[in-house]
Amino acid sequence: MREHDRTTIHEAMEQQTISVAKAGLVTTLSTRTTVFGATNPKGQYDSNESLSVNTTLSGPLLSRFDIVLVLLDKKNPKLDGIISSHILAQSTKAEENKASDAAVKSTQPLGIKEWTLPCLRRYIHYVKQRFKPVLTKEAESVISGYYQLQRRDGTHNAARTTVRMLESLIRLAQGMFCHL
């Protein structure tokens, strides 16, 4: 990722704005949105190194994400054999691949249609207006205890154990409430 892109995404996630300069005009745009990011490690992932070192993304930028998942591709000869056999079997079925659209449609349950973008937007708007979850005292206690524990053990991942982590935990708990 280029340094300019890192700076821009950092500004968007931290200040929820992006500064744009075009044709002599400078303006700031609101960026209140959800950000999903994906990256590969530089070379082979080294579990002895920090996430920041493996991804070459700074700790402050990584701390802006509510959730960071590390997906490792561990070498397993047995599983690798199963996967390669499956992929090779799929590639030899050229005639079936021509009908892949029909196969995909046939795997979708009857009566279920894909959501259109306007429909999805209306649904998200509805959920935001309808559900205003409030944390119970017990939930506050659990979140506070976990946050304080992470702060005490701050050497584990100091870049993540900031007030932003507490805010992320609250958002995640509220989001889980909406899905129950």
Q: Where are the domains of the chain?
A: 3-62, 117-179
Residue 93 CA: distances (Å) to CA of 84, 85, 107? 15, 13, 18
- Measured in degrees and rounded to the nearest 5, phi and psi for residue 18 equal -135, 130
> In angstroms, rounded to a whole number, what is the distance separating the alpha carbons of residues 133 and 79?
43
Q: Which residues contact 165 (CB under 8 A, 6 or more apart)?
A: 63, 147, 150
E strand map for 11-158: 17-22, 25-30
The tokens describing 38, both together, are 């994906």
- Three-class SS state of 156: coil
pLDDT tens string for the chain (180 positions)? Answer: 788 788 888 888 888 888 888 888 889 888 877 777 888 877 788 888 888 888 888 888 888 888 888 888 788 889 888 888 888 877 776 556 565 555 555 555 666 778 889 998 898 888 888 877 888 899 999 999 988 888 887 665 655 677 888 888 888 888 776 555
pTM value surpassing 0.85: no
The DSSP code for 126 is: H
